[in-house]
Structure formats: C-alpha cells, structure tokens
Structure 1
Amino acid sequence: MSAPNRIDLLKRSDSLVGIDFVRVSPDQRQLWLYLHHKSPLPAGLLNSLNGLHAEQISIRSMDGGRPEQVRVLSPLPAVGLEHGRRIVGLQVAEPGGFGRYRLFVDHPAFDPYFNDIPFSFKAACDSDLDCVSEEQAGDVGERVDFPVDYRARDFWSFRQALLDFASQRYPDWQDRLEADLGMVMVELLSALGDEFAYAQDRISREVQFDSASQRRSLRHLARLVDYSVDNGSGARAWLNITVAEDGDGEWPLPGGTAVGDADARLLFEVGHGLRDRGREFYVSSRRNRFYPHIWDEDDTCLPAGSNSLTLKGHHASCFDADDAIDSGGKWILLATHPRTPDQPERRLMVRVPFGGARDGLDPLDGPTEITEIRWEQATPWPLDLTTLVVYGNLLPATSGETRNTSFRIGPPADPDGADAALPPAIERVGPNSCLGYDAGDNDSQRVRFLHSLPGSESLPLVWLPDPDNDRLSRPELLVRRQGDGPWEWLPQLVGETTASGHAKVFTLEDGSYRPVFDVQRSGRQFQFHDYATNDGSTIRFGDGEFGMEPSDGSVFTVEYRLGNGRQMNVAADTLTRFPEDSLPFVVAVSNPLPAEGGRDPETEESIRINAPQAFRNILHSAVRPEDFDLIARRELPWLQRSGSAMRWTGSWPTLFVTPDPRGGVELTGPQLRELELVTGRVRQAGRQVRVLEPRYASIDLELHICVAGDAMASQVREGVLQALFGNGQGSGFFDPDRFSFGTPLSRAALMATVQRVPGVRAVSGVRVRRRGRFGWRPFSEFILRVEHNEMIQVSNDRLAPDQGTVTLVMEGGA
C-alpha cells in the first residue's frame, strides 16, 4: 500500500499547516517560516496562526553535549504573504552559533509531522566547506570520460557530438529516426547550442573595431577614444518666390511649408529647420525683381570684383534685413539672362548689410529715381547689366519632410482612453539589455525606454549644424511629454556632459527595433520587439540614474524630419512647386542655385579606419611643454599661442604656462580660469601646472622721417601711425597678434612698413629704448631679440606710456 503525499494533503487541509523551510535574515536575528498550506488560507486558520506565542516556539542546538537554546522573543504580529506563500516571522534574542539547530512549534494549527525543521543560522555565510558529508559521499559509480569536441559550433556539429556521446553512454539506444523522442531532444539541444554559439560569436565580434557589424557598437567604441562619428547633414537651399502683383502688400509664408520637385519626390521645407516651424516669412510683389540703372550706353558691364550696383526706382526699404532669415542683412540674387546661348548665365547670392541701400536721383535724366546698393563680397566674374535682374524674395529652405508620432510609457493611465491605442515604448532592463538587473539591495529595476522613429529606416533622420556650436550637429527632432513640455537632446547620457537622474533628457541610438516574434495564443496577439537593423534612429530615455526615467502612463509626441544625405543636393531649378494649395499669392517658386551641404553619414568602414588614427593623431595628454601649447590652442579659440617651460621647484617638476591671447595683450579672469582647467585636465600625475601672466618687452621707438616735398607732414604723420597701429578696420605693424613669444622686432620690416606710406621719402634714423633694460640708442642691429617667454609690446597709448610708445620726428614736406 502506497503512503500518502502529506504535502498535498496539507494543501487541501482547512485546519493544518506545515513548515516548508526557514529563511534567516542577514543580521541573523529574524527568521521567516515558509509554510505548506491551502491557498487561499482559510480565515479561521489564519486567525489561529496570528495567535501564535513565543512560548510555543523553541530553537535548540542539535550538536552533542549540553544543548543550547536560542530564546525567541516574539513572533511578528501578523502572518505575512510573499510570492503567494504564507510566512511566519520570528524575532530571536541573539544569533545562533555555527552548528545546526532544530526549530519546533507546539501549536495545534501545525501538522505533527511538519511542525519542526533543522536549519543553520549561518546558511547565508560564505564557507569553503563541502556541504556533503562523508557518509553521503559514497560510491557514485564509474564515470564515463567522454572526449568532448570543443570545435562543435553549429547545429550539425553539436548534433553529431551528442550522438557520439549517446552511442558510448547509452549503447542500447539504437533508434535514429527523426520522430524518436531521443532524436527530438538531441536536435532541440543542438539548435539551442547553435543559438548560444552564434550569440557568443556576435558578442565577441561587436567589442572590436575590425569585426563589429552594428553601427551602434562602432559608435560606442569610437566614444571610448573621443572620436565623434559624423551623422551627415541635410541639404540647404535658397528659394526665389514670385508673388502675384497686388500692390505693396506683404504675404506671410509659414516656416515648415513643404516645397518639392515636379513629382514631389524630393521635399524641402521653408526655413532653417524645425526651429523655424510656425515662424512666418514675408514676401512681397515689390521685391519680385529689380533692374539696374545704366548710367551710360557704353558702360553696360559690371566688372569682376564689384560690390555695388545702381537700381531703377526707389527701393531702399525693400532691402531692410529680415530678422527671421538674417538679422545682419538682406540676401538678394544677381542673375543674368543672356539672349544668346553662347553667353554664360550667371547667378550669385550676395548680402546687403544694414544700411547698404540708399535712395537717390540721377540728375541728368529727368531726374530719375535710383537706389544704390552695396553688398559684402565682391563679384567673382563680370555681369552684363543689360540682362541682369536682381531678385529680393529669397527664403531659406532645408531638406526633409516633417513627420509626427506618439507613444506611451508602460500601461495606459486609462485602459479605455485614447492613450490606450498608442504604441508602448520598448522596455529593456539593466545594462546591455539584459532582463534581470537589480538596482541595489531593493527589488526595483532600472528600465530603459526605447522608441524607434517610423520611416527612419528607409529615409534617414535630418541632422543640421548647431547654430551655437559649429563643431556639433543636432538632429531635427522635438520630443515633448504631454503636460510637461519639451525634453532636451544630448549626444550621450554619459560623457563630457553627464545627465543627472532628474534631467529631462534623451539621446539617439543607431538602428531600429521592430517585432521579431509574433504569435497568437488564447485569442490574444503577442509580439516581441528587438533590435532588428542598423538603419534608422531610436529615441532612448534615461534609467533614473543618468537621465530621468519617464513614469508609467506618460505620453510623448515626437516631431521629426526625414531626408538626410547627399542625395538632397539637388540641382538648380529643381524645387518648382508647393504641394500645398494654401498659397494662392505665389505665382512661381524655384531654387536658383544648387542645394548644398547635404552629406551622408560616416560609413562603418570609415569609422574603423579613422577612429583609431584620430586617437593617435589628436593629442589628449601633455608630456612635453610643447604639448600643452598644442592642446591649449586647439581647445581655446581665444588663445593665439602659449609659452611653456618645465622647472624643478624643489619637490616635483612644475610646468609654467604663459598665454598669448588673440586680439589683445591682457588676460581676463575667465580666460585665466579656462586655461587652468584645460592644462590641469591633460597634465601628468605628479606634475603641477601654473598659469602665469604674459611678460611683455615694452619698446620705445623714435623714427626720423624725411617727408617728400609735395606732401603735407601732418598727413604723412597720420598715414605712418595708421600703418603702424591700424585704423580700426585693419591691423597695423604693431598689432598684438603679429608678435608672440620670442618673436623679434625686425628693423628692415619696420622701415619697409613706414616707407610704403605715400609721402614718405626715407627713414633717416631709428632710435630704440627698452624700458627697464637699456636707454636710448641707435637701432643699428638687424633684429631686436627678446627672450623665449617674452613678447614685444608697443601700444602707443599716451595714457599708458609704460606699454611702449612711438615718437615721429617729421623732417621736410610742403
């Protein structure tokens, strides 16, 4: 007769429970008894367990000799519930020893068979002892030493290795039919081993530059050596708008308006990108076109190198700067329309600065109203005035098509609301997308939320240069949380700028996630999303430690633009129509010049080649004194050069760095602190860096100048001073940027500069004095040398004569 399964009986009993095992707390002062019981626990039995007293529980040592008893202070006031199991908590007076103890409960609700259990207070402590006793470790039989083929790495080699093992270990199993259950298990294990081997190979490949196949892996490896992967760029173009003749009215053209080619396959949008979406650009029929005023029938050519033009009529107000486009001036188009094919067509964009247009009159012809305009850059080739037309309705445009998407975080706040239909963000737990990472001692987990941008797999996300940082490009992407406003994009959450746990930021990862497993079970559709392709872009939020972790129920809306790369560098006159019909005032549109700036993202092969070489080429640590100069000039745009010298200061070597600021001679406090941070970041351990103020060699000069007989001495004097010190528009001979550390003063260069001034017949003599070093003497040597850590200073400031002066002695003249 078979014995009953007592645990099954307890799980059906309404009056008894039993002890399953004991869990000991880390401080060994609390015990939890996990029970065998009926689920759910009957109310009467629960009340009986809550009445358990400390006197009904005993804990005694199981070792020989005098028995040791551990006093139970009290059970917890209520029976807890953990993972569907009822537990009883006990509080003991002190931890037990290293021996084994038996816990006994004398209570009518506990089964007599399962009312005691052996345990150890030190079960969770580290131990190098074998838990198997010598009595238990008997003869386990003869082991089969089977030679394992470690070259097995795919399904068929694993299958053959398992069959070889089965032939030796189980010789009686001879059936090799595919339907045999043993063969099914062999092939299942072989398939699982094949997947494991593939995963191991992929992981080992993705951690090296030469073998990584995923773009996101290459980007992460490049960041380790401070290499910035080029994301490419969208193309930029100018649009020439022709407005219907309607008087002097201004028509608003919204930023973000789409414009494309005849087939609407290549799309651009008005404005500089998403930042101009919603802004209005104004066009007018008054700026459709302007014609040049020809002063003389024999003067019909605007020569190369010109930067001015006279137009017919009064139009100065039409050339006012448009703050929405460029606050510094008005962009216009100069275009010739030759009447014969043998003449080349010319098109040129120029900018008329503020105040560059002025109304006037031609007094001989009528008089006739005219407008004189001046632009900044000179024309590279001559322009025929008889066919020249000036266009003034020019608007910027960037490549790309704006799209919108929405998604939610976790389960919807209202299962029946509109947010329930939104796609949820993809969740990944822990580092490297593993699925069981605990954040600290508690059971909470740090979750990464991901959302791939729809359509970015086939048409890449647009990147444009950052208007505030020329070295950084930004994605055309706006992420907003409902009721919370926009979130900020960061190149990476951990790097030069590390996001805090409360920062509302996100970053972009290469590749796209999409369903890779789809199955229907019990009438429900189950999908598993995973990394599927290198193409596309995916939004990634923080995990609560680096970047804020969005809360469940949050709804995000994303506005982004697709259309990156060199394929958007369209030819001139390609963008000829607005797909929208809401612009009745527009007669025609075209791009008079080819779009430019479109650039494909850096290829994987280019990253493999350039990232290691850039790390070797770009110096990030300073060892020699000249290394500090190189790094400082690279990191600080205001620094022209620095002088560095290593000295032993008694206990350790110290590097002294002296800066030469660009465009001046004085070092400001912020510049000093900025240089200290840069040099301190790249110095070697055990070496100090100190930034010193520049040392200047103040030079006084006395020039005797012979003035020509037909020149005024006062005018020549003014010209010499402008040649030496500039006139506010150009630099002079003694401009601070001409002299750096150790640069000598050349007598020949000084005299040549003076003698090029009109009216100077000769420089009859030069005297020199260096303050604090020597007095006045003839400047007879070829060059006046200074130390390697000194700079020549001649400011000629009468309020600061100690910074060097120039005295001019004029001889002769009219």
Structure 2
Amino acid sequence: MNTERTLDARARDARAAGLNGIDGISVDPGRRRLILTLFGPAPEGLGPANFRIRGPVPARDPRVLTVTTDPGADPDRAGRIVLEVDPPGDVSRYRLDLVRTDPRGRPGTEPPDGFDPPFAHAEFTFGQDCPALLDGVPEPCPPPAFPEPVIDYLAKDYASLRRALLERLTLTLPRWDERHAADLMVTLVELLAYAGDELSWQQDAVAAEAYLDTARLRTSVRRHVRLVDYPMHEGCAARTFVCLDSDTPVTLPAGTFRFRAGEEHFEPVTAQDVTVRPAHARIGLWHWGAPDLVLPAGTTRAALRDGPGAARLALRPGDVLVLEEVLGAATGRPADADRTHRQAVRLTSLRRTRDALYGQDLVEVEWDEADALAFPLCVTAVGGPHCAPLDVAVARGNAVLAEHGTSPTWGGGEPDRFTWPAPPPGTPGCPCPPASGCPEPGGTADLPAYPPLPLRTTPTVPGAGRPARPATWSPPFPAPEDLARGQAARLDGVAARAEARLAALLHAALAGTPPDAEALAWLRTLFGEAVLRRLPLAADPVTALRTLTDGFAGLLARKRARLARLARRARCGYVLDPDEEGWEIAQSWGAAEARALDPARAALHGPAAHALTPDPRLALPAVRATAPGEEGALWLPRRDLLDSGPADRAFVAEADDDGLLHLRFGDGRAGALPAPGATLELRYRLGNGTAGNVGAEAVTEVELQGIQGVSVRARNPLPATGGTDPEPLARVRARAPYEATRRLLRAVTAEDYAALAGEVPGVQRAGARLRWTGSWYEARVAVDALGTPQAPGRLLDEVRDRLHPVRRIGHEVRVGPARTVPLRLALCVEAEPGAVAGHVRAAVARLLGPRGLFHPDALTFATPVRVSAVTAAVAGLPGVRSVRVTALERLFEPSGDALREGVLLLRPDEVPRLDADPARPENGVLELRIGGGR
C-alpha cells in the first residue's frame, strides 16, 4: 500500500525551486524491498551508506544492502530508488534518512546536495497491509493512570447521576467528605448531574420518537404516518348554511359581516359580496293545482312562484336554496312541522315559465343528483282547523355558507407579526482558491459565519392552542374535484350553446334584424376574420348565417376537438386556470364562455351536500402569511413541501400536543425561503372541532362592521355539521400501518382496473381483462351501469377519465359497455281454475320483465340464470297452479344444454338481458303459454 505524502505548499515551492526530496515510501510484500519516490530525478552515486533506517529497537534496525536507481523510459518514474534491506522490519514506525557520506564513506547527518532538509527523511512501517502486531503479539495498551471506574448504566436521572458522581469523588478524593449544598464541589456535582439528566432525557426522547409505536409527540407521529401515506388530521371546523332576511334589498361587502350562535362565531367560507333580497327570504313552491302535492324522495327539480316588480326572483345557477317544511300537513301549525324535512340544494339550471291555467309566473329550477331529496317533501295539503289548502313547504334563499371560527383581526384588530431572523454577520477570511466564479487569491473576503448552516426557524401562531381556542382547520372550498367536474360540464356545452346562438342570429336575420356589433365581434372570434371575409355578411346576412349554420361542425372541427381535450382533462380532476385555459377559450369561443370557467362562480362549486360534509383529512389551517413590503407576497399552507419549488410561497403548519400551531417554511429548494429580516403578518381564525356543531336555529345574530342603518336577520335552518376533533394518537397507531393496503391508488392487474372503475358513481360493477396487442398491453374494461341495461356514453367517458391517470405505464385503456346477452325464455304456466288467464299472463310478464327478476340492477357480470329460480318466482305468483320452463337459451345462438343442466352460464364480461319488449325483440324474448283459468 503506497503511503505517498500529500504535496503541500512547501513541496510545490521546493519542486519549483529545483530541489529534490522524498515524496513517498512503499514496501514490497516480502518486507525486504523499499521503493522510494522522489520529487525529481534520482541522483547518481548513491550507495547503502547514504541511507539510514532507525526503529524503536536499535539492535533490530534493518541495514541497506543494495541501492538501485530505476530511471526507466517513463519520465514520471525518474525519481524511483529501490533499496534491498535485511533483516525485514515489523509493524513498528521506522524513519529513513537520506544523508551524504563523510570522507571515510560513513553515513553523515546532513542531506545530500540538492535535497530540501524537511523532505530528506520520511517515516514508514513494514506492516502496511497488516494489523498492528509486534512479533505476532498485539501491542499492549499503556496502563491507565487511575483504576477503571465502574459505570452504572442505570443511572439516568438527576438523583442517580448525583449519587454516582459523589461515589466517584469519594474514590478519587478520599479526604473530601463535604456534602453541604453550599459547597462549591457539591454545586459542581449537582450542575453536572442536571446536565446529565437533560442529556439522558434527550437520548431517550430521540430513541422513543424514532418509532411509531413509541413516539409520544404528535408531530413525530404525524411525520411517521406520512411516510405510509396516512393523512392524520387535526380536526375540522363545522359548516352550515345561514339564511338572511331584510326588509329592503341590501348588499353586504365581503369581510364586513359574520354570524354568532351563543359564544361561537361563524364566518363566510368565501370572501364574496352578498346581496340580501327580501323576495328570496320565503319562496313558495308551486303545486300545479294539486291539493296534496308531494315531491318524492330523489326529486331533482321543482317549480317556484315568481312575483311581479320587487317580488321578482333573481336566482342564478349556483345559488343555494333550503327546502323547508314550515307547517304540519295535518294540523297546519308551525310547531308540528317536521324539522328533519329540511335540505339544502344548489341550483344547476333554471327556466322562467308560466302556468297559463292559473296565471302564475314560475321559475323552474333543477339541482344536482347529489342533492336529490332524501325524503318526500309535502308541498301542499288540505288540513288545519278549517280543512283549508295549506302551503306546507317553502324554499329559503339568501343562503350563505358559513364556517365555525373567528378572526382576531375582526373589528380592526392588528395582525400578529414575526420577523424572519437575519443571518449572523460574516467574518473576514481567506477567499476560495482560483476557480470558475471565484475571486483571485490575495486579500480577504467576507465569509459566512461558521458553521454555515441554513437559517431555519419555526414561528408559532400566538393566539392558537390551549388554554386559548384552537386554530381553525378547513378543507378547501370548493373542492377541486367538484370544481373540475363543473368546468368539464361547462365545456361540454360550449359548442351546443354557440350553435344555438348562431341559430338565434339566423332566426333574427330572417325576421329582418341583422347582427349587431356585439354579434359580429362574436362571429369573428368564433369563425375567424378569413371565413367571414368570404361571406356576404353585410349585404346578405341571411345567406351568410345560413352558410355558417350548415357548416358549423366542419368549420369548427379543430376547435371542438381541442374543447373535448380540455373537458377530458377537467374530468380527470385537473382544475383549469382562467389565466391559461380560460384565455384560450376566450380567444376561441368568446369571453362569456371564459368567464364561466372562473372558480369564483358559485355554479362550479358542486352540490350543497358536499359543502356540509367536509373531510377532515383534507383540512388545512386557516392561516395566511403576508409580507407587507412585497406586493403579492402571500404564503399559503400546504400538507407538505415535497412538490414545492424554489419560488412557491408555502409553509406547513404542525399542531403539537398543546394545540399550538408551528409554521415550517421552505429551505429555498423545496419551498421559498422568506427574505432575511423580513416581517410577515399572520392572519388566522380560531375555533375548531365539535364545539361548532350547533343545532338548527342556533345562529341568530349578524355582526356588521362599518355598515350603518341596515337591519339584517339570520337563521340556520340546518344544524352545523362536519365539526371534528383532532384524531387521537391511539387511533392513528392502530390504522396507519394498514393504510397502504386499504386504498388502491394504481391499476396494475385486471382486477385493479375493475375495482377502480367500480368506484365511479353510476357503475354497478365493472369487469376487465388485459390483452396483448403485439406491441403493448391493452386493458379492456366493461362497465355495467346502475339502473340501465346499457351504459351511457357519459358514464363511459367518466370511467375512462378515472382510469387514465392511474393506469400502469405502457397500458392503454379501452372502456366499453358490458356485453349484454339477450335471452329466449319460454314457459308453460297453468293457472288456477278460478284465476283470470289474462291477469296471470300480465303478472308473469311483469315478473320476468326488466322491472322484475331481470331488472338491470339485479344482474351483473357472469350472473347465471337458473331454471329453479325462474320456476320458484313464477310459482309464487297468485293464481299460478304449476309452471314449467320449456326453453332457456341465448338468443340468435345455437341451443345449449342450459335447460337440461338447469342453469345458463355466462362469461365474466357478459350480462344477461330480457326486456320482453315485442317492439325490440333483439333485447330478449319471453314466450308464455297460459293454460287453465277462465
């Protein structure tokens, strides 16, 4: 093993000055040859007397027998000298001196001419590849100066450490027997015991917090379970809809109002202006002349009474209505109204119409299927003391989504501030060596303080935690999936709305009204200036508009294809940005369509039911940090900083065991780092957990700020729900290790594709299989829709968009409807003598039709059709004496052995179908022969 000495500054200077010296010594494995490497060429005339080797035992020093210079052909080896020595040395440290001889030829003490004195000698060992042995015996350690102390490793706390120190001092200082607390030695002992106690506690804490089962701190448990993708939550604030009422129309600016329920406060979830209209406080439901109209469970539409003038409804898509039963259907008294018959719905569309029979103006509204009525709502009834018609249910407008929590800055309070620490001042020092981007050597440079650690600090939200109120944790609203779904639905109708507007312009032109300036600008945006220049739009608008209408699909084919791609991206969960995709839509389809994609529009906020069921695992703290000196410098909370870039202003908020909220900012790589010395302002809300789950009618006050002369009343018809306390650590430890096996996040096998497709709403069951196409695998997914025998195209698109982001790399996904197998079923039924044969035939046909035994929801993939099940079902009908199945087979296919074996088996991707519709025999044929009866 070479032990070449590293060249330092003197070595470089000596080489530059032309001086020679020993650069390194290596030993042959046989320990009889030494190879010296010099700075320069080996001088001639060197003999054994010019080398002197000294070791720890002079009597055993090796002697140099021969000296051989090895200039060789390689100029890099010009400084090699080989020495033959005897006897071989051991693993001890030896020193080799290169000296010049005296006139008698004996070794001298001075180095030869041309050698630098510091490099005329070098230390080495003959055992460079061996352990440190001396004659085969390990080298003994020097004896200790004092007896080895007996260490009590169980001494971990202050008392035991103090006792151990005093016992040790008794051995080392036998004459010192002072134990008074004021003695200096005792004070030092107690200080050392205290320091040892802290170190011991820190060691135990580090060891305990390193594992999930033993971690005691809430922050440690949260970070452990984050590694297994378990979203531990810190609770969630409750939400409710507050309905406002006022005698006159009034607009409440954002941030100027909040609500109160006893000691608990609620603030609006979205910072938007709210207009309170008296006509929306109580909206009547239209009965269409029915004295006892009931909206059944599952209803998604209703008709509202509209009034003239100031009573005219100004509802828009996205507004929330609370349908409420206000009277008892039998007694007509408000006290008898069913308080559970209240539900909030978000309007998706509305249409003004009129009931000409009764002369009533109406507004027909619809809402999402997720907001479908969960109970039958009685609209009108005949009852009460006078047995008169009653309006049992009404709709409440002016609804504001409010969340539990209050801001300390409400009413003009100052926000909390903290200053990001500045780095310590630099110290003068030597600059870095010359390199790319470094200064030239010479002089001093301002170096960062040592050690050069990154500047890290974790500020604490001052007002949160116990005994104060906890910080508010709130999931994002609107939910990204609801927002993306709403944008996708909006994009799906862009082309149809454009075509309808174009048809309206053509209809107006036929009536003699040519397109105005606004319509012309819209046409130029839609079709382009080049297309309109070829048409006589000014001279003959009817011909031009008819040409555009007839060629609508062809002229806008590329735009419609791009629109379909954007809609598909939105259905996959990607929220379209108004500044990017919205700008593109504005340039292609008009500014109105782009404004409709704005996330601030209430029409895109999803069903009202989703707003009242917040998921605590998606909640983030309601904390914002701003830098007043930097325009737009807003710091927002995130669950982690793994996906944050160097320019992302984000932080992670972690609650400790006392509820205190600690903010962890980025380091300049994962998340932006605040500027040194910058002052950040914290704005947050306080109030969280089940304390906000107040009952219905609990919100009774509206607090206004900076608004005078306005009287606004508030009530919450629905109770506040969703308030959740922080997740206990015991539950986290029990659930987190199994989280990875509970959620399917990627599709790898065919079963994975089927399971993920089955999670899409509207899918009863899905089947999948992987097929090799010759170049890649193709996942073919068959969808069995819920409530219909044939999956609609919209549902297939949703399944395809759901599977595309989670598919395995290299897999293509093809989604189609389930392969339905029409059946031919023939029965011979004997009716009872007193039964009417026609009634029996109708009952059997109804039982074996698509609403009975062969209902689409009762059948799915590979559902076998058993002769015994059909026989038992028909035999159980009233008036049936006997039944016999005479045919059971696949329609349009050769007859099998199903009748003989008693069961018709289907493949994994097949679903049986028997519609028994004479007009559509391809969907299944039912043949009945009825005998007996009358």
TM-score by length of 1: 0.60
Q: Distance in 2 between matches of 1:210 and 1:626?
A: 36
* Partner of residue 354 from structure 1, selected from 346, 349, 352: 349
Matched, 1:335 2:326: yes
Which structure 2 residues correspond to residues 52-451 of structure 1 after superposition, within 5 A? 54-55=16-17, 60=22, 69-70=38-39, 140=143, 143-245=146-248, 249=249, 251-261=250-260, 265-270=263-268, 273=269, 276-277=270-271, 279-290=272-283, 305=296, 313=307, 321-323=315-317, 325-326=319-320, 330-336=321-327, 343=336, 346=339, 348-351=342-345, 354-355=349-350, 358-360=353-355, 363=358, 377=373, 378-379=375-376, 385=390, 390-402=395-407, 404-411=415-422, 445-451=453-459
Gaps of 5+ in 1: 1-25, 35-50, 73-92, 103-114, 414-441, 513-532, 650-654, 682-687, 757-761
Aligned counterparts of 2:669 and 2:333: Cα–Cα separation in 1: 70
In structure 2, distance between residues paired with 1:293 and 1:744: 48
Task: State the one-letter code of the partner of 2:464.
Answer: S
CA distance in 1, matches of 2:720, 2:80: 81
Distance 2:40 2:319 in 1: 84
Pair 171,623 (structure 1): closer, same or farther in 2 beyond 3 Å = farther
Listed as ranges, the matches of 1:714-793 within 5 Å are: 724=850, 733=854, 735=856, 739-745=859-865, 770=890, 774=894, 783-787=903-907, 789-792=908-911
Residues 45-72 of structure 1 deviation map (CA, whole Å, 9 limit, x = unaligned): xxxxxx9994398765698999865369
- Bigger proportion of residues as helix: 2
- Give deviations 1:556-575, integer Å, cap 9, x for gaps: 45443222111011232333
- Partners of 1:120 and 1:676 in 2: CA distance: 71
Q: How many Å separate the matches in 2 of 1:608 and 1:142?
A: 52
Between the aligned partners of 1:217 and 1:616, the Cα distance in structure 2 is: 19
Q: Whose Rg is larger? A: 2
The one of 694, 700, 718 equivalent to 1:570 is 694
Q: Deviations over 1:63-118 (max 9, x none)?
A: 8999865369xxxxxxxxxxxxxxxxxxxx9999999899xxxxxxxxxxxx9799
**Alignment correspondent of 2:721:** 596
Distance in 2 separating the partners of 1:182 and 1:621: 65
**Partner secondary structure for residue 258 of structure 2:** strand
Say which of 650, 660, 663 aligns to 1:536. Answer: 660
Displacement of 1:144 after TM fit?
0.7
Deviations, residues 654-699 of structure 1 (Å, cap 9, x unaligned): x998644353669979967976986869xxxxxx999898897653
C-alpha separation in 1, matches of 2:823 and 2:24? 105
| Deviation per residue, 1:352-403 (Å, 9 max, x gap) | 663377544675xxx7778888885244578773786654332221111235
CA spacing shift, 1:562–1:206, aligned 2, 3 Å = same
SS across alignment from 2:206: helix
- Give the residue type in structure 1 aligned to 2:8: L
Cα distance, 1:214–1:785 mapped onto 2, change above 3 Å: same
User: Does residue 638 of structure 2 align to residue 490 of structure 1?
Assistant: yes
Per-residue Cα deviation, 1:411-470 (whole angstroms, up to 9, x for no partner): 299xxxxxxxxxxxxxxxxxxxxxxxxxxxx98645544332231213223233441257
Deviations 1:513-553 (A, max 9, x none): xxxxxxxxxxxxxxxxxxxx541222222334544444535
- CA deviation digits over 1:8-41, x for unaligned, max 9? xxxxxxxxxxxxxxxxxx997653589xxxxxxx
1:204-246 deviation per Cα after TM superposition (whole angstroms, max 9, x unaligned): 332344543211112123234432223322111222222123x
User: Deviations along 1:684-718, whole A, 9 cap, x unmatched?
Assistant: xxxx9998988976534457899x9999x9xx9xx
Write the distance in 1 (CA, Å) between the matches of 2:417 and 2:80. Answer: 59
Q: Distance in 2 between matches of 1:120 and 1:668?
A: 83
CA distance in 2, matches of 1:695, 1:339: 51
* Change in 2 beyond 3 A, CA 1:223/1:791: same
Would the alpha carbon gap of residues 544 and 311 (structure 1) be closer, same or farther in structure 2, given more than 3 Å must change?
A: closer
CA–CA separation in structure 1 for the residues paired with 2:800 and 2:124: 61
If asked which structure has higher relative contact order (CA below 8 Å, sep 6+), I would say 2
Distance in 2 between the 1:153 and 1:238 partners?
57
CA distance in 1, matches of 2:838, 2:309: 45
Which of the residues 2, 8, 14 maps onto 1:31? 8
Separation in 2, partners of 1:141, 1:689: 71
Aligned residue in 2 for 1:105: none
CA distance, structure 2, for counterparts of residue 215 and residue 473 of structure 1: 18
* Residue segments in structure 2 that go unaligned for 5+ positions in a row: 26-32, 42-75, 82-92, 98-116, 385-389, 410-414, 425-449, 482-613, 829-835, 877-881
775 and 445 in structure 1: CA distance in 2 versus 1, 3 angstrom threshold: farther
1:627 to partner: Cα distance? 7.7
Equivalent residue, structure 1, for 2:646: 502
1:605 is the counterpart of 2:725: no
Residues 179-227 of structure 1 deviation map (CA, whole Å, 9 limit, x = unaligned): 4333232222111111011112222332344543211112123234432
User: Whole-Å Cα distance in 2 between the matches of residues 766 and 505 of structure 1?
Assistant: 75
Root mean square deviation, CA, Å: 6.3
User: Structure 1: how far apart are the matches of 2:285 and 2:404?
Assistant: 33
How far apart are 1:160 and its partner, in Å?
0.9
Q: Partner amino acid for 2:650?
A: F
Specify the alignment match of 2:676 in structure 1. 552
Is the Cα contact below 8 Å between 1:325 and 1:396 reproduced in 2?
no
Aligned equivalents of 1:698 and 1:292: distance in 2? 43
Alpha-carbon separation, structure 1, partners of 2:848 and 2:644: 54
Identity of aligned residues (%): 21
* TM-score where L is the length of structure 2: 0.53
